[in-house]
Amino acid sequence: MGGVQTDGLIGLYYWGNRVGFTTEIDQGVKDTGLVFSQCKSEWYRRENRQAGAEIWYGTMVNGAIVENNRVTGVIVLTPDGQRGVIRCKVAIDSTGNAELPALAGVETEFITAAELAVQGVGQTPRNLGASYTNTDIGFLDDTDAADLCFFALRSRLSMANNVWDQAQVLNSRERRRMVGAFYMTPLDVVNERTYPDVVVQTFSNFDSHGQTVHEQFFIQDPGHTGMRVNLPYRCFLPKTLEGLLVTGLGISAHRDAMPILRMQPDVQNQGYAAGVAAAMAVKAGVEVRHVDMKALQRHLIEKKILPRDVLTMKDSFPLPDEAFDRAVSVMTNQYQGLSVVLVDYARSIPRLRKAYRAATDPDAKLVYAHVLGMMGEKDGEEELIRKLKSISWDTGWNYRGMGQFNRSVSWVDSYIIALGRCRSTKALPAIIEKTKALTEKSEYSHFRAVAIALEAIGDSAGAPALIQALRLPGLAGHAITMGPKLPVVKNYANREGDWERTECLRELCLGRALYHLKDPEGIGRKTMEAYANDPRGAYATHAKLVLGR
């Protein structure tokens, strides 16, 4: 009971808003014993049993009963092989993998064909008496049982011979998410958006455990600063399906928003809020989406999960015109206002165009051109091309899981990505030149940038440069196959898992772009086919999606 925080052996907190129900848990665990990862599991068990709850260990859910657009039961498989239905008035999915929404036909998202962008995963060596051990060595597709098995086997073989055992839960930080009644984006996070239905306030720095994909972070560095985020109740709810709530990693939010939302203290308070909401709905005889929000918030205030000011909160969006005027005016001061202009392209782009035309300072003109390009507009493409031609490759970014907070692209990468996003065919020669200047020692982010740009521009003239890059020593051949001896990540402390992911991602991004650029020699297809047959499920899922399978 408790998953990552108990059997996953991450028994101590990193960030998170340690208030409310979380403080109750913490005191109960402290009173239970010294090994927090195990004592928390026991505290959960005891509290549930004292409250009259049943706990079914080892029971798998493999279906949802949906009647008249509401979940009325779940199909289960018990350890002794029985299969049946548990009827319910409200179901709460706290798997972190949005299992019930997916089984009920609700829209979900996870690995895509666009890029393989997944937060890092670890499996922890079990040391007797340890309350906290944390690792990050690979990628995982939590929806794939074979991948879960393979990751666990490979992890065990990678551990030192003197390790007593391994955790029975894989510590994944990003899983399948529901696309629900409200979909939180990174812009909601960084703009400190408020809502009338806040049920939890989360707190964390941007602990991304890998690369980001949102345009905000292709320009701005999220840094290490902690952010407090209002989480609305609607993130727990499907768009229209009734009788279901979702908490944890499965809530409705963009992957680049999740690092701020997923800390253990906040997930615990999410679970409490969802449980109380479900009980209130059943008692009142209403659908869970129609629960009395102010009554729920007042209870959460009494529980010290929320501050009193949430009772008068309104939605701070849509932003007023003055906010966009100010954001554009301060943009040249280290991209201040970026998170505002990205909120509404229709209102921002005319203002940015006007500012670009009026700018006389070359640096200011470049900033406006850069932002316009990232938003898909070509107004400043000549400015960006001149900049790109005038500079050499800077220090890029190789994949980093544990301890990754800052941007995962360099400034040169960012200019190239912006030219790709605005599909600047004029930039093609300059991007090809930069691609040809890459060596086998170049960082992954540089390969990623040119691949993103060339793929977006879509001109097959970029294919020869991608082929040249794939033929650099050590760039290709990193897909693995099942065999009598598995490649292992031998030393968790020395970041071998980071280097494995760097090598694979460099090859994947080049192969994917080449595959989409008519692939004159079939090298892109061959690359994607190799990864489609890779036993590492996350790589295989992405490659199959690229191939249209």
**pLDDT tens by residue, 414-448:** 999 999 999 999 999 999 999 999 999 999 999 99
CA–CA distance from 225 to each of 126, 204, 207, 214 (Å)? 32, 8, 10, 19
Q: What per-residue confidence (pLDDT) applies to 284?
A: 98
Mean pLDDT of the chain: 95
* CA pair distance 360, 338, nearest whole angstrom: 20
Helices (H), 83-185: 99-103, 145-158
| Tokens 């793929």 belong to residue | 455
Decide if pLDDT at 494 tops 90: no
Residue pair 302/183 in contact (Cβ under 8 Å)? The answer is no
Rg of the chain's alpha carbons, rounded to an integer? 24
More confident residue, 67 or 156: 67
Q: Confidence band (pLDDT; 50, 70, 90) for 253?
A: very high
* CA pair distance 151, 344, nearest whole angstrom: 41
The residue ranges of every structural domain in the chain are 3-172, 182-312, 318-372, 380-546
Nearest residue to 158 via CA among 486, 535, 444: 486
Give me the CATH topology for the region 380-546: Leucine-rich Repeat Variant (1.25.10)
Decide if pLDDT at 492 tops 70: no
Q: What is the pTM of this model?
A: 0.95
Q: Virtual CA dihedral for 480, 483, 489, 491, nearest 10 degrees? A: -150
Q: Confidence band (pLDDT; 50, 70, 90) for 496?
A: confident
The percent of residues in the chain predicted with pLDDT above 70, rounded, is 99
